[in-house]
Amino acid sequence: MIEVRVTHIWKDSRLLTSKLPSSVELEPSSLADLWVPDSYFHHTKELKFVRLMTTAASMVIHPNQTIKYSEM
């Protein structure tokens, strides 16, 4: 078994982030309210997700509309 942390980085022009003084990290509970891309693993034979009691994920929104989303 291997444990992997997947990170997506993208720009979302729909976000009004120009007035943010600095980057903002969101609580895992608020991640359900925002769009995140689906992860796709090309040429995967078998994939198993382990669900934890709390989500092992983080999202940081930067003033330039860049979003960094990581999930384990």
Q: Measured between alpha carbons, how far is 23 from 11 in angstroms, rounded to an integer?
A: 14
Residue 55 pLDDT > 70 = no
* CB-neighbour burial class of residue 7 (10 A; exposed 0-12, middle 13-18, buried 19+): exposed
In the prediction, which pLDDT does 25 show? 92
Greater model confidence, 49 or 33:
33
Quickly list H helices, 24-63. Answer: none
Max alpha carbon distance in the chain (Å)? Answer: 45
